[in-house]
Amino acid sequence: MGAPPAAHDVVVVGAGVFGAWTAWHLARSRQRVVLLDQHGPGNARSSSGGESRVIRMGYGADRLYTRLSLRSLAQWASFGEETGQDLLRRTGVLWLAREGHRLTLDTLDALASAGVPHERLSRDALAARYPQMSFEPDHWGVLEPGSGVLLARRAVQAVVADAARRGCSLRLDAALPPSGSGRLGSVRTAGGETLSADAFVFACGSWLPRCFPALLGERIFPTRQEVFFFGVPPGDRRFAPPQTPAWIDFGEEIYGIPDLEGGGFKVAPDRHGPPFDPDRGERLVSEAAAARVRAFVARRFPALAEAPLVDSRVCPYENTSSGDFLMDRHPDFDDVWLVGGGSGHGFKHGPAVGEQVAELVLRGGAPEPRFRLAAKSTVQSRAVY
């Protein structure tokens, strides 16, 4: 007698943005899907938690991610229209750069080549359009008017809810680390359940090294990233859309999101922080980081120099060596796929990543070479911004 048929077609471990969209695309293809997450979709410990994420098309000369962003933007927009949820706010995204900044110059070429609407703004044009901001003499900018902000936690929960409507089953439990080789066949959970399936997708972000310590313990680098929200003056709409777009200051390696729904003016360093334990790490920001961010805000947004800090949080990045995503079959298991390495820029790409993973699971084929496990080093050298 052969082995009994699997109870499910696919088990997806991790209900962050990559896992949620993978489950959604699989459920839309009429697969019997279980989505397993230890803390729930959009939880505060995950890289997909929090209120907001930037979605931009520009990636310098790296047109792979521009293509992924365009595909994802279309899917985020259509998902919001189909479900009646306002998850994508087209605030525009403003790149700030200094003269001769290669990444921004390359971005201009890539946006033009891809047909993405954009404007190049001189320092004088920046000052005229955004008088609430202070610019250096050599500043210039690029505005993507069709890009903007995703309501992160709400969006992940909406995608999971719609996947459930299509037949996906959500389980709140932790997957135990797999062992062996060949075919995995089933995963056991901390709660004692055994989930059998024809295929497994591990999309568990900062917990990937915990699930596969020998394979990924030195190839996925969780880091501690601090995020700050400043209160705007009463009745002052200068720091909300459309007056202020989402923005990225590459010279300072810092970005921000305008005040949305009264949640505060978001400012966060994009420079990778120290190593972080997603289970035991404290989620309180440091006084030193708060002081550095406040000093930046006082320079770039003078009217917010005395603004109160109304909220703050620690959000982990799970970085690969280069910043390229991980999307590959496990080398020891025929039925296991590894997906992750969002590296601080992955949230926006959830729909396109989920679509590609679902295609690989259902039809096989080879992943993008840059996403292969073999391309992941044990030494960090960031190449994707």
The two tokens of residue 248 are 């990225």
Domain annotation covers residue 381:
no
**pLDDT at residue number 257:** 98
192 Cβ contact partners less than 8 Å away, ≥ 6 residues apart: none
164 and 182 together in one domain: yes
For 142, the enclosing helix (H) or strand (E) is strand 139-144
The predicted pLDDT at position 1 comes to 46
AA identity, residue 208: L
**pLDDT bracket for residue 129 (50, 70, 90):** very high
Give dist(CA 218, CA 204) in Å, integer: 16
**Which residue matches tokens 């590894």?**
338
**Same domain for 355 and 332:** yes
| Segment 66-93, tens digit of pLDDT | 999 999 999 999 999 999 999 999 999 9
pLDDT-derived band at 6, boundaries 50, 70, 90: confident
Instruction: Give bridge partners of residue 144 from the DSSP assignment.
Output: 93
| Structure tokens, 31 | 């697969």
In a domain, 193, yes or no: yes
The answer to whether position 73 is within a domain reads no
Yes or no: say if 38 and 7 are a contact pair by the CB < 8 Å rule: no
Is residue 181 located within the same domain as residue 234? no
SS3 category, 220: coil
Average pLDDT, the chain: 96
- pLDDT at 358 exceeding the cut of 90: yes
Q: What is the CATH number of the domain that holds 329?
A: 3.50.50.60
Q: Domain count of the chain? A: 2
* Mean pLDDT computed over 331-341: 97
Six-digit token pair at 330?
């496990």
Contact 224, 273 (CB under 8 A): yes
Residue 68 lies in a domain: no
Dihedral in degrees, nearest 10, Cα atoms 372, 374, 380, 383: -50
Q: What percent of the chain has pLDDT over 90?
A: 97
Same domain, 117 and 241: yes
Answer with the one of 317, 340, 355 that is the final residue of a domain.
317
With respect to residue 312, please indicate whether it lies within any of the assigned structural domains.
yes
Among 326, 286, 311, 322, residue whose Cα is nearest residue 206: 326
Residues 230 and 255 grouped into a single domain: yes
Q: What is the structure's pLDDT at 165?
A: 98
In this prediction, residue 3 has a pLDDT band, given cuts at 50, 70 and 90, of low
Q: What share of the chain is helix, strand, coil (3-state, %, to 5)?
A: 30, 25, 45
The pLDDT of residue 4 is 64
In a domain, 247, yes or no: yes
CATH number of the domain within which 259 lies: 3.30.9.10
> Across residues 149-163, what is the average pLDDT?
98
Q: Is the pLDDT of residue 2 over 80?
A: no
Question: Tokens standing for 194?
Answer: 């055994």
Q: From its phi and psi, is residue 115 left (phi > 0), alpha (psi between -120 and 50) or beta?
A: left
**Residue 272 lies inside a defined structural domain of this protein:** yes
Sequence-distant (6+) residues with CB within 8 A of 148 are 54, 55, 88, 89, 90, 91, 92, 93, 241, 245, 246
What's the token pair of residue 367? 């992943």
Are 178 and 253 contained in the same domain?
no
Facing residues of 359 across strands?
none
Residue-number span of the structural domain to which 300 is assigned: 78-149+221-317
b/e per residue 194-210 (b: at least 16 CB within 10 A): ebbbbbbbbbbbbbbbb
CA-derived radius of gyration, the chain = 21
Q: What is the pLDDT of residues 240-281, one digit of tens each?
A: 999 999 999 988 999 999 999 999 999 999 999 999 999 999
* Residues 238, 142 within the same domain: yes
Report the chain's terminal Cα–Cα distance, integer Å. 53
Summarize pLDDT for 173-209 with one digit per residue, the tens.
Answer: 999 999 999 999 999 999 999 999 999 999 999 999 9
CA distance 218 to 74: 35
| Residue 140 shares a structural domain with residue 210 | no
Rounded CA separation 205/339 (Å): 8
How do residues 21-59 score in pLDDT, each as one tens digit? Answer: 999 999 999 999 999 999 999 999 999 999 999 999 999
Rounded mean pLDDT, 358-380: 96
- The three-class DSSP label of residue 123 is helix
